[in-house]
């Protein structure tokens, strides 16, 4: 075969692309798993490379590697992260369930680069993988990549979304709209109260994510093959977490029980469940925006979302709520990702979970999708929508449910009769109430004032 070289591993020889930094085990995985043609997520590979650098630093401290070997490994890892490192990681997501293929991919690439830097051989297994097993480094990389994704992507995006919603709430506070329950007319609410409800949902989700971080930042590293720590220095776990914390500026700690962190992926399952809850919140917000924007003539037409692109290939002038629609699709995908992670989390058979790659893929996909869609929802939908005040007032003046405010004075039954008459005749409820009660117009104007009826939720 042209443009290849011969590489060897414990199973024999095979051809590897001549310029590839990886070796035989990576090539076997490429040959064995032509399934999805999707690589492991870049965030996961980044975390794996960082973990290799942290391991090398810890092993030098513990005299398990020479200073020159450790420095070459660290420099190789840092060089990878500064470039287009994903070109060197071709292994499919659907691979061996422990992620061994991805671990050896990293070991081989870093060993090749470190050998060039050092001028002598650096071994993928004996040096780059020193004190490690795929069974602890892959669960560690899942936790590290998810924790970094929350710190760097999702939490800042959610905070931004909350800030935009709260600014918009202050802007639209003067506007009062018809509330709706069961999609039917209900008591009036301020537009700001609607948005403040969204903000509070998101704040609760942010709090739940922050509560999860200590568990995600607790690592399996040091457990090696089954949790006993075989072939790792007794102080390796502590040294590794300290070095990784220095590299990432995020505080990582050794897990309290390494058997649990290798044999299960319960923390990932819990994290995914919280991501699903955020997806549900975003779906609610997106659908509220779509309903309020519906029309402009035959729908509610309470707000006008920013027009971003033509909405139809056949109907000229049509503009659709594209950002809320995209957000709703993200929510659906995240909910699906959670189902996959739930099933995968059940595959902790004895001392190892064997669906680690798909857990990593779906968890990191959910984090990225939610982060990106949250920013778009904030900046291209919520920040820029306009309120259609005439439409709000028109609907509010004819809302028969306003008669609810008269219940304490005239009773539920009488109020129901007034509401039905107002609806049937298409008249303002105040006019019908004037005919069917002893209350004066001035009294009714006070009792049925929509602004006063929203005060209970302020």
- Reported as a single tens digit per residue, the pLDDT across 54-69 is 999 999 999 999 999 9
Q: Is 57 in contact with 70 (CB distance < 8 Å)?
A: yes
Q: Is the pLDDT of residue 456 over 80?
A: no
> Is pLDDT above 70 for 34?
yes
pLDDT at 458 over 60: no
Residue pair 156/211 in contact (Cβ under 8 Å)? The answer is no
pLDDT value at 366 more than 90: yes
Residue 269 and residue 358 in contact, taking contact as beta carbons nearer than 8 Å: no
In sign, the C-alpha dihedral spanning 413, 414, 419, 422 is positive
3-class state of residue 179 by DSSP: strand
User: Which DSSP string do the residues of 325-386 spell out, in sequence order?
Assistant: HHHHHHHHHHHHHHHHHHHHHTTEETTEES-HHHHHHHHHHHHHHHHHHHHHHIIIIITT-E
Residue 387, pLDDT > 90, answer: yes
The stretch 313-341 carries a mean pLDDT of: 97
Picking from 137, 42, 148, 22, the residue whose alpha carbon sits closest to that of residue 86 is 42
Quote the CA–CA distance of 398 and 400 in Å, as a whole number.
Answer: 6
Helix (H, G, I), strand (E, B) or coil at 78: helix
Looking at residue 455, its pLDDT comes to 86
How confident is the model at residue 1, as a pLDDT? Answer: 52
* Angle, CA 195 vertex, CA 193 and CA 199 arms, to 5°: 115
DSSP H or E run through 186: strand 184-190
Please compute the mean of the pLDDT values over residues 225-230 and round it to a whole number.
98
Note the pLDDT tens digit of each residue in 287-326: 999 999 999 999 999 999 999 999 999 999 999 999 999 9
pTM comes to 0.96
What digits encode the pLDDT tens for the residues 102-149?
A: 999 999 999 999 999 999 999 999 999 999 999 999 999 999 999 999
Residue with token string 């490429």: 30
Q: For residue range 148-195, what is the model confidence (pLDDT) as tens digits?
A: 999 999 999 999 999 999 999 999 999 999 999 999 999 999 999 999
User: Does the structure show a pLDDT above 90 at 74?
Assistant: yes
Q: How far from 163 is each of 139, 171, 195, 203, 281, CA to CA, in Å?
A: 34, 13, 11, 10, 16
Q: How far are the Cα atoms of 274, 290, 328 from residue 287, in angstroms, in the given order?
A: 20, 5, 8
Q: Is the pLDDT of residue 408 over 70?
A: yes
Calculate the CA 333 to chain-centre distance: 11
Please identify every residue annotated as catalytic.
Answer: 182, 312
* Residues 71-95, mean pLDDT to the nearest whole number: 98
pLDDT recorded at residue 398: 86
Q: Which whole number is the average pLDDT over 258-274?
A: 98
Q: Please state which of the ranges 1-5, 228-232, 254-258 shows the lowest mean pLDDT.
A: 1-5
Contact yes or no for 90/275 (Cβ under 8 A): no
Kindly report the average pLDDT of the chain as a whole number: 97
Q: What is the pLDDT of residue 209?
A: 98
Whether the predicted pLDDT of 457 surpasses 70: no
> Would you tell me the crossing angle of helices 67-81 and 100-118 to the nearest 10 degrees?
110
What confidence score (pLDDT) does residue 347 get?
96
Asked if residues 48 and 86 have their Cβ atoms less than 8 Å apart, the reply is no
């Amino acid at each position: 075969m042209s443009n290849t070289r011969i590489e060897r591993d414990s199973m024999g020889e095979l051809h590897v692309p001549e310029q590839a930094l990886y070796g035989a085990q990576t090539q076997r995985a490429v040959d064995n798993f032509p399934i999805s043609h999707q690589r492991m997520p870049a965030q996961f590979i980044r975390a794996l490379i960082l973990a290799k650098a942290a391991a090398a630093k810890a092993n030098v401290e513990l005299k398990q590697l020479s200073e020159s070997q450790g420095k070459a490994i660290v420099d190789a890892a840092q060089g990878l992260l500064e470039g287009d490192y994903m070109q060197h990681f071709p292994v499919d997501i659907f691979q061996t369930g422990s992620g061994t293929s991805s671990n050896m991919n990293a070991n081989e690439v870093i060993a090749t680069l470190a050998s060039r830097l050092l001028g002598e051989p650096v071994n993928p297994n004996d040096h780059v993988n020193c004190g490690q097993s795929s069974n602890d480094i892959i669960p560690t990389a899942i936790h590290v990549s998810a924790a970094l994704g929350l710190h760097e992507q999702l939490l800042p995006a959610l905070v931004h979304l909350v800030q935009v919603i709260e600014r918009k709430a202050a802007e639209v506070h003067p506007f009062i709209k018809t509330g709706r329950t069961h999609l039917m007319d209900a008591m009036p609410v301020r537009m700001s109260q609607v948005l403040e409800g969204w903000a509070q949902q998101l704040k609760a989700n942010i709090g739940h994510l922050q509560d999860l971080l200590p568990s995600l930042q607790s690592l399996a590293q040091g457990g090696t093959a089954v949790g006993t720590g075989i072939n790792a220095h007794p102080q390796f776990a502590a040294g590794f977490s300290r070095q990784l914390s220095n590299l990432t500026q995020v505080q990582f700690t050794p897990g309290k029980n390494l058997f649990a962190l290798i044999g299960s992926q319960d923390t990932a399952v819990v994290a995914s469940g919280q991501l699903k809850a955020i997806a549900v919140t975003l779906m609610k917000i997106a659908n509220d925006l779509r309903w309020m924007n519906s029309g402009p003539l035959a729908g509610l037409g309470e707000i006008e979302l920013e027009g971003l692109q033509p909405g139809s290939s056949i109907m000229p002038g049509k503009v659709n709520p594209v950002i809320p629609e995209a957000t709703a699709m993200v929510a659906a995908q995240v909910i699906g990702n959670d189902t996959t992670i739930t099933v995968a989390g059940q595959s902790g058979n004895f001392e190892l979970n064997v669906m680690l790659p798909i857990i990593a893929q779906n968890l990191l996909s959910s984090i990225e999708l939610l982060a990106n869609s949250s920013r778009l929802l904030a900046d291209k939908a919520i920040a820029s929508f306009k309120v259609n005040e005439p439409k709000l007032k028109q609907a509010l003046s004819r809302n028969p449910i306003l008669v609810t405010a008269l219940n304490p004075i005239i009773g539920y039954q009488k109020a129901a009769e007034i509401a039905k008459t107002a609806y049937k005749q298409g008249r303002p409820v105040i006019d019908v109430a004037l005919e069917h009660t002893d209350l004066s117009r001035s009294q009714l104007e006070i009792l049925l004032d929509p602004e006063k009826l929203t005060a209970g939720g302020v």
